[in-house]
Structure 1
Amino acid sequence: MTRLNLVLLLAVLASAIYLVHTQYESRRLFTELDRAIAEARRLETEHQRLQVEKRAQATPLRVEKIARDQLKMRTATPAITQYVSDPQGAAVAAASAAAQPGSAQP
């Protein structure tokens, strides 16, 4: 009988130790989950802030100001526009048009 009591006592102690371990692990995992959720919220807030900043940086007025001030660019006007023609490119285009079937040849 004492042997059975000893085995049952060991089983109860093992069960109690396992229960304590399981509760500790559960609390640890809950704390880790809570931290992960807080980090996700922080990252989402930062992402939204960066999206707003990106939109603010990409406004046409700001891009034009940076181009004018930092890159020394200016708006194109007909007075400063230079048109470049490619005589060789025009000859190639005419030759390819003449080589197509159904095209009128002079």
Structure 2
Amino acid sequence: MSGRINLLLTALLVGCALSVVTAQYKARQLFIELERAQAAARQLDIEWAQLQLDQSTLGKHARIEANARRDLGMVALTPARAQYLTAGTR
């Protein structure tokens, strides 16, 4: 009788030990996945900040004007170069 109880308790102990090992393995896997997700989130935050900086830089009036002068050959309109149209005159 005592041998059966010992055998039952031993089997129960082995089952509990295997359960603990499995739980620890799953916890480690989840922790690794969490770390990867947090690293990806940090990288996306860095990229978002860089994109916001680029947008603010590219949208400035002075830069747009400089690009228009350099790339398109545009110049500011002066009164001497302006042509006025009036209705009814030829």
TM-score range, shorter chain: 0.7 to 0.9
State the structure with more CA Rg: 1
Task: Quote the residue 2:36 is aligned against.
Answer: 35
Moved over 6 A (4+): none
* Alpha-carbon RMSD: 2.3
Following the alignment from structure 1 to structure 2, what is the Cα–Cα distance between the partners of residues 40 and 82? 57
Aligned residues: 85
Does 1:80 find its partner at 2:82? Answer: yes
Task: Name the amino acid aligned to 2:9.
Answer: L
Tell me, in whole angstroms, the C-alpha distance in 2 between the residues paired with 1:6 and 1:84. Answer: 110
Distance 2:18 2:85 in 1: 87
In the TM superposition, 1:57-96 aligns within 5 A as 57-78=58-79, 79-81=81-83, 83=85
After TM superposition, give the deviation of residue 19 of structure 1 in Å.
0.3
User: Partners of 2:37 and 2:84 in 1: how far apart?
Assistant: 59
Tell me, which stretches of 5 or more residues in structure 2 are unaligned? none
Question: Which residue number corresponds to residue 49 of structure 2?
Answer: 48
1:84 to 1:13, Cα distance in 2 relative to 1, 3 A: farther
Choose 8-17 or 35-44, whichever is displaced more.
35-44
- The higher-RCO structure (CA 8 Å, 6+ apart) is 2
Which deviates more from structure 2 when the two are superposed, residues 59-68 or residues 1-10?
1-10
Deviation at 1:5, TM superposition (A): 2.4
Structure 1 window deviating more from structure 2 (2-11 vs 58-67): it is 2-11
Deviations 1:41-79 (A, max 9, x none): 222122112211221111111101112222333333443
Identity %: 36
State TM-score, norm by structure 1.
0.64
In structure 1, C-alpha distance between the alignment counterparts of 2:8 and 2:83, rounded to whole Å: 99
